[in-house]
């Protein structure tokens, strides 16, 4: 249990830290899952029909934002499960793109 004095100092330290970086831009990191399947004759690509904007109603890869303290692989597994209910799927990170504006 911390005292009020300690809590106040901690609070001051956190807000001072946040103020220090207040002018920095924020970035969102997203992952997309490309899921291939093979039915014996053809290679298949798993897509979802978007249920929200932007591009509502259009076909899309499964993707979403990485949560704080979550790695790329865990984010991809979470998003895949949320959107398709698939879990324990073999996944391999093929590429990470880092240039601004890359799509």
Per DSSP, which regions of the chain are E strands? 30-33, 35-38, 43-46, 48-49, 59-60, 62-65
**Where along the chain do its domains lie?**
26-84
3-17 pLDDT, tens digit per residue, is 444 444 444 444 555
pLDDT at 101: 66
Higher pLDDT, 87 or 10: 87
6-61 pLDDT, tens digit per residue, is 444 444 444 555 666 677 777 788 888 888 888 999 999 989 898 888 889 999 98
Higher pLDDT, 42 or 91: 42
Residue 43, strand partner residues: 38
pLDDT at 2: 40
**pTM, rounded to two decimals:** 0.66
Mean pLDDT within 60-87: 90
Backbone φ, ψ for residue 18 (5° rounding): -65, -40
If you average pLDDT over every residue of the chain, what do you get?
A: 78
pLDDT at 43: 94
Q: Which CATH code is given to the segment(s) 26-84? A: 3.90.79.10
């Amino acid at each position: 249990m911390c005292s009020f004095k300690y809590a106040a100092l901690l609070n001051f330290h956190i807000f001072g830290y946040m103020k220090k970086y207040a002018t920095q831009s924020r970035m969102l990191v997203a992952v997309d899952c490309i899921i291939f399947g093979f039915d014996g004759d053809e290679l298949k690509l798993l897509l979802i029909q978007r249920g929200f904007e932007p591009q509502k109603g259009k076909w899309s890869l499964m993707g979403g934002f990485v949560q704080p303290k979550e790695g790329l692989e865990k984010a991809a597994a979470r998003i895949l499960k949320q959107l398709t209910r698939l879990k324990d799927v073999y996944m391999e990170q093929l590429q990470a793109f880092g240039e601004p504006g890359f799509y």
